[in-house]
Amino acid sequence: MIQNWTSVCVRCHGPDETGSKTEGRAFFHNEAGYSTFTASGIALGSNLVVTSASLLRPFLLDKLSSYGEMVLSPNSGVDILFESNIDDDGGESWINADLVAVVEAEGMLSSIRRLTGHDSSMWVFGWGTNKGQLGTDLSSIHRFSLRNVGISGLAILRLKPNASQSGLLDIKSNGSTNDDETEAVLGNERSYQLSVPTIGKRLTLHGSGFGLIAPSVLINNISQGIVANIIHPHRAARRADEQANSLMLTDAKFLPGMEGGAVSWDETGELAGLSMLPIRRTDGEPVDISLVIPVACIVAAISPYITIPRQPLQPDHIAALNSSSFINARQAVVMVQVGQTWASGVVISKSGHILTNAHVFTSFLDNISNRTWPNLRSGISLRVRIDSPQQQLWVDDCELVFVSESCWDVALIKIPETCVLNGFLPYLPLRTPEEISRMKPIVKGTPLFAIGHGIFGPSSGILPLITSGICSKVVTHANKPVMLLSSAPVHRGNSGGVLVNTDGQFVGLVTGNGKTSTGRTITHLNFAIPLDAITVAVNAYLLDEDRKWLDRLNTPPIRVDDIWSLRGNTPVWDPIEKVPSKL
At 154-174, the pLDDT tens digits run 999 999 876 544 444 444 444
Tens of pLDDT, residue by residue over 394-428, are 998 899 999 999 999 999 999 987 776 556 688 99
* Average pLDDT value for residue range 251-271: 91
How much is the pLDDT for 423? 65
Q: Kindly give, in sequence order, each residue whose CB lies less than 8 Å from that of residue 257, ignoring residues fewer than 6 positions away.
A: 26, 27, 38, 39, 40, 207, 208, 209, 210, 211, 212, 218
CATH of range 5-161+196-303; options 2.40.50.100, 3.40.50.300, 2.40.10.120, 3.40.50.1220: 2.40.10.120
pTM of this structure: 0.84
CATH 2.40.10.120 fits 322-565, yes or no: yes
Tens of pLDDT, residue by residue over 38-55, are 999 999 876 899 999 999
How much is the pLDDT for 283? 83
Q: Identical fold at 5-161+196-303 and 322-565?
A: yes
Percent of the chain at pLDDT > 70 equals 85
* Average pLDDT value for residue range 185-214: 75
Q: Are 539 and 434 in contact (CB under 8 A)?
A: no
pLDDT band for position 268 (50/70/90)?
A: confident
Low-confidence winner among 184-198, 291-305, 460-474, 545-559 (lowest mean pLDDT)? 184-198
Residue 101, CA atoms < 13 Å, CB-side half-sphere: 12
How much is the pLDDT for 130? 66
Longest CA span, the chain: 92
Q: Are 376 and 361 in contact (CB under 8 A)?
A: yes
Domain boundaries, the chain: 5-161+196-303, 322-565
User: Which of 85, 39, 48 minimizes the C-alpha distance to 275?
Assistant: 39
Residue 190 has pLDDT above 50, yes or no: no
Torsion of CA 214, 215, 220, 222, to 10 degrees: 20
Looking at per-residue confidence, does 358 or 193 come out higher? 358
* Average pLDDT value for residue range 188-210: 77
How much is the pLDDT for 300? 87
* Average pLDDT value for residue range 434-449: 88
| CB neighbours of residue 443 within 10 Å | 11
Low-confidence winner among 38-47, 257-266, 573-582 (lowest mean pLDDT)? 573-582
